[in-house]
Amino acid sequence: MLPADVQTTLIERAGGNPLYAEEFARMVEELDSGDEGEIRLPESVQGIIAARLDSLPLDEKLLLQDSAVVGKVFWLGSLVLIGDRDRFEAEQLLHALERKEFVRRERRSSVGDESQYAFRHILVRDVAYSQIPRAARAEKHERAASWIESLGRPDDQAEMLAHHYLSALEFARAAGKELPGIADRACTALRAAGDRALALSSMRPAAQFYESALKLWPTDDPERPYVLLGYGKARYELAVEGDDALLEASAELEDRDREAAAEAEITLADLFWRRGQHAESARHRERAAKLIADVEVSQMKTHVLGQLARFHMLAGEYGPAVRFGESALAMAESLGLDEERARALNTIGAARVESDEEGIALIERSIEVSRNLHSIELVRGLNNLAHQHAHRGRLAAADAAVTDMDAVARRFGYRDWIRWAEAKRATLSYFLGDWARTYALTDVLIGEIEPGGSHYLEGEWRMYRSRIRLVRGERQEAVEDARHGLEAARAAGDAQMVAPLLSWNARLFGAEAEGVASFEEFIALWLRTRSVQGAPTFAPDAAVAARNLGRGQEFVAAAQTVTGGPWIDGAVAVASGELARAATIFDEIGARPEEADARFALATELVDLGRRGEAEPELQKALEFWRSVGARAYVSEGEALLVASA
């Protein structure tokens, strides 16, 4: 709260000015609810607070200004050093300010035996700070930094130290004043703050600290490439950016620190993978592997091996994925690297899940480890868990994992991982019949891709938008999305991206040359990888295409080479002409579009056989779903069949 006499003055002023009264009410409501953000206030409000501060005895006013330099929260020892005053004197002045309701003493202190205080209202702190001349602010911030350094807790206080040194430097330059050595200390403090934030997965402040450090860092300093590396890593995690910084860091470190160069290269590999640029990603992962080939067991070799395992897993190369993953896991356990252990468990689990249920347990162990580390690996684990639950037809469990994933990604503030969560949500919404949500999500995600840019998941986003455009009667737009989606999937390079787009294009284009070619390429890819790849819709789509092309047995033979599951079972039933069984399987999964497709195909077959009484219930169920999602083209086709069956 503001001091009582300041509140009284404001209320009295408001009595003759309704607009001012409204502004004051808003101010009190927002600030008393805990909002300490900048709020624009009438100059008269600031003037009243300034006048109240000017009425204080000079020693109390100066101490309040020194407190404002430290921040909303401050400590007795800091005021002693900043103002070069006696400790007892400073304590007495604080007692006086406490009685006058400007500050309050906190029950607990975050700094050893130091008494901790806080401004009772952020506006008082802001006005007190604004009264300090710029040149004096520079010196006071430098002294505040010196006090923090004297505490001997560089990791805990890294951000505060960086703030004070940077502020000291900026105000000194603005005042045309020299503070010898301050730029070097600011660089060191900013780098330490960036390192600290990066270790805590706080990527936005990490990027800001590193960026400020790079603006000050001499270009010929041998430590600069390491700052570039940290900056690039923070931007990569935050927004899939930073390739410029990482490329420069790698080039400068290659001849003198192969492990650091390998870290830049493996980060670049993942950055380009997430952008859907497969060839560029492969080039950087090969460079990373070469750089650590002769390195003994180390944290960086563990990290690179873990990432190489992950890339093999994503490509459907599960044997190499498990081998690299187990090597990384053994190193991580021997070195006590919990984050690398979580990454290896996640990758091995995702690779093994194709052949046994133990893979799910390994992914869940990875999630458990990551949750205790404040690590981004937690998002990856939840993403894989949601994917595997969806493939096993456990849509409720997949939805719970996506909800958790989205919350974690938003807590970290990583826009790209939020995109991955939204993509998973779009997929689940499609299965569950919320096509408006699927369309809205995919439309936004596609729209966020910059002109000339790309994203690993672009093909999948376009596939789902293509589906909905088709059933709305927008065939040309659906075809464009399908073609562009396949191009994006090919650029991404992994079978888990290519297979779903091939199967969808095979279904969409049917007996046209484009459809036949897509089907044949899909079968060849499936036989080569012998795995369940990509979005769960891939198998039913390919089965529908196979049935329409009269190549159902070819699909069934290919399906027998992979581990089964409800989606494969349902797809095999479609390709084999067991449409009632397929509808039941998809109903049990909760895959409403696939169920409706199977029921419509069954109804069509029954009508052709003259069994119209049996056809109508199946057709009505399909129509009920299609009407609920606005599938105009399918509704028209279904109603035409309904008339024919009458």
Using the predicted structure, report yes or no on whether residue 99 has a pLDDT greater than 50.
yes
pLDDT at position 200: 85
pLDDT at position 156: 74
DSSP 522-559: HHHHHHHH-S--SSTTHHHHHHHHHHHHT-HHHHHHHH
Q: Does the residue 577 lie in any domain?
A: no
The CA distance from 21 to 343, in Å, is 57
Indicate which CATH number applies to the domain containing 84: 1.10.10.10
Q: Does the residue 156 lie in any domain?
A: yes
Q: Structure tokens of 300?
A: 């960086």
pLDDT at position 608: 87
Within this chain, do residues 73 and 51 fall inside the same structural domain, yes or no? yes
Q: What is the mean pLDDT of residues 567-596?
A: 96
More confident residue, 535 or 234: 234
pLDDT at position 38: 43
Q: What is the mean pLDDT of residues 248-268?
A: 96
CA-to-CA dists, residue 124 to 71, 186, 211, angstroms: 11, 28, 31
pLDDT at position 175: 84
Q: Does the residue 49 lie in any domain?
A: yes
Within this chain, do residues 85 and 124 fall inside the same structural domain, yes or no? yes
Q: What is the mean pLDDT of residues 575-598?
A: 96
pLDDT at position 34: 43
Domain boundary among 132, 159, 191: 132
Q: Structure tokens of 625?
A: 């779903």
CA nearest 504: which of 607, 597, 422, 590? 597
Using the predicted structure, report yes or no on whether residue 33 has a pLDDT greater than 50.
no
Domain boundary among 267, 295, 323: 295
Mean pLDDT of the chain: 89
pTM higher than 0.85: no
Domain hosting 163: range is 133-202
Using the predicted structure, report yes or no on whether residue 20 has a pLDDT greater than 60.
no
Q: Does the residue 103 lie in any domain?
A: yes
Within this chain, do residues 11 and 64 fall inside the same structural domain, yes or no? yes
pLDDT band at 638 (very low <50, low <70, confident <90, very high): confident
Return the ∠ at Cα 599 (arms to 594 and 604), rounded to 5°: 125
Count of domains observed in the chain: 4
More confident residue, 267 or 537: 267
Q: Structure tokens of 597?
A: 């497709």
Indicate which CATH number applies to the domain containing 272: 1.25.40.10
Q: How many CA atoms lie within 13 A of 130 on its CB side?
A: 13
Q: What is the mean pLDDT of residues 425-441?
A: 95
572: Cβ–Cβ under 8 A, 6 or more apart, which residues?
Answer: 543, 555, 556, 559
CA-to-CA dists, residue 212 to 134, 179, 207, 293, 522, angstroms: 20, 18, 9, 35, 50
pLDDT band at 412 (very low <50, low <70, confident <90, very high): confident
Within this chain, do residues 47 and 126 fall inside the same structural domain, yes or no? yes
Q: Which residue is associated with the tokens 């996506």?
A: 402
In tens, the pLDDT along 297-351 reads 999 999 999 999 999 998 888 899 999 999 999 999 999 999 999 999 999 999 8
Within this chain, do residues 97 and 173 fall inside the same structural domain, yes or no? no
Instruction: Tell which phi-psi region holds residue 272, choosing left (phi > 0), alpha (psi between -120 and 50) or beta.
Output: alpha
Using the predicted structure, report yes or no on whether residue 356 has a pLDDT greater than 80.
no
Within this chain, do residues 242 and 143 fall inside the same structural domain, yes or no? no
**Which H or E run includes 351?**
helix 338-352
Within this chain, do residues 64 and 102 fall inside the same structural domain, yes or no? yes
**Percentage, residues of the chain above pLDDT 90:** 69
pLDDT at position 1: 54
The CA distance from 2 to 124, in Å, is 8
**Sequence-distant contacts of 173-177: CB under 8 A, at least 24 apart:** 174/134, 175/133, 175/134, 175/135, 175/138, 177/135, 177/138
Backbone angles phi, psi at 161, to 5 degrees: -65, -45
Within this chain, do residues 320 and 232 fall inside the same structural domain, yes or no? no
pLDDT at position 46: 77
* Contact in structure between 150 and 144 (CB atoms under 8 Å): no
Using the predicted structure, report yes or no on whether residue 31 has a pLDDT greater than 50.
no
Q: Does the residue 14 lie in any domain?
A: yes
Q: Structure tokens of 410?
A: 């938003």
pLDDT band at 473 (very low <50, low <70, confident <90, very high): very high
CA-to-CA dists, residue 261 to 227, 289, 325, 469, 588, angstroms: 13, 11, 21, 46, 51
Q: Does the residue 38 lie in any domain?
A: yes
Using the predicted structure, report yes or no on whether residue 32 has a pLDDT greater than 70.
no
Identity of residue 262: A
Domain boundary among 271, 295, 319: 295
In tens, the pLDDT along 444-469 reads 999 998 788 889 999 999 999 999 99
pLDDT band at 383 (very low <50, low <70, confident <90, very high): very high
Within this chain, do residues 191 and 128 fall inside the same structural domain, yes or no? no
Q: Does the residue 272 lie in any domain?
A: yes
Within this chain, do residues 291 and 235 fall inside the same structural domain, yes or no? yes
pLDDT at position 536: 78
Within this chain, do residues 1 and 128 fall inside the same structural domain, yes or no? yes
In tens, the pLDDT along 485-537 reads 999 999 998 888 999 999 999 999 999 999 999 999 999 998 888 776 677 77
Residue 433 has what DSSP assignment?
T
* Contact in structure between 370 and 332 (CB atoms under 8 Å): no
pLDDT at position 562: 83
Q: Give the range with max mean pLDDT: 154-158, 358-362, 642-646.
A: 358-362
**Percentage, residues of the chain above pLDDT 70:** 92
The CA distance from 246 to 261, in Å, is 9
Within this chain, do residues 37 and 59 fall inside the same structural domain, yes or no? yes
pLDDT at position 7: 58
pLDDT at position 358: 85
Using the predicted structure, report yes or no on whether residue 436 has a pLDDT greater than 80.
yes
pLDDT at position 510: 95
3 state DSSP class of 74: strand
pLDDT at position 355: 63
pLDDT at position 425: 96
pLDDT at position 5: 59
pLDDT at position 43: 61
Q: Does the residue 607 lie in any domain?
A: no
Using the predicted structure, report yes or no on whether residue 44 has a pLDDT greater than 70.
no
pLDDT at position 111: 84
3 state DSSP class of 119: strand
Q: What is the mean pLDDT of residues 357-363?
A: 88
Instruction: Kindly give the residue spans of alpha helices, DSSP state H, lying in 151-257.
Output: 158-174, 182-199, 203-216, 224-239, 243-253
